[in-house]
Structure 1
Amino acid sequence: MTDIEDFLRRVKKEMSTPGRIQLIDRAKNIDDIARLGLKWKHEILSLTYEDYDRGPLPDHSGVGEIWEFIPEIDGVMVYIKLKLDSERGVVCLSFHEACGPSTLPYRQERKEDTR
């Protein structure tokens, strides 16, 4: 968990500097953010280790590593793929409804109240 929490701290620190976050302009990202009515920057700042899915993984289309998170937002599982880049800061490569398999190794099952 320490590596995950360290990564999220670095993300939040980068995001505290104006202009140090970028959403990759892909139709799927833009469409799902609009359809789900999400504030993507706020949702990234709200990530915790429990939302962690995989990473760090090599970025096959560039230099560095990517991290994948799948938080549940308003009842919808949302796939978020992030990267820290020395020039651009936080790069959000994906932000859309989750549609593939997930691991979520730290997700705590939410127990329903059975009273």
Structure 2
Amino acid sequence: MTENRPLLFAVIYIVGSIFIGPAIAVAGYVITPANGDYCDVSPHGSSGQRDRDYALLEGIQTTGSIIMLEVGLFLLIYLWTNHLRVNSLSLVLTNTGILVMVAGYLLVLIAGTAANTSC
């Protein structure tokens, strides 16, 4: 069934990314006691615990973004290898949608790895 519909996975990725991308970006901040405030040590109990909490935050954002980037790139390759079975307008629209979502995951990846941990 899906072999005859190469657009199905692309559409699922695009629609799912509308919810998954923000969830990855926000999930780490929500689970940290200070909700994203690195310089506030008191909710963490100590600076060591704060550093562990923010290492977890960085890990969630980085890992989630990398996985979704890989899925997006795989889908682009899958669409282009099956481009003869896809309408050209649908191919352009799904490729554009995937590239927009990949750009969003790149922003989450940059935000997760470029955190400034000095106060």
TM bin, normalised by shorter chain, reads under 0.3
> Larger relative CO (CA 8 A, sep 6+): 1 or 2?
2
TM-score by length of 1: 0.23
Pick the structure with more strand per residue: 1
Q: Report the structure number with the largest CA radius of gyration.
A: 2
TM-score by length of 2: 0.22
Pick the structure with more helix per residue: 2
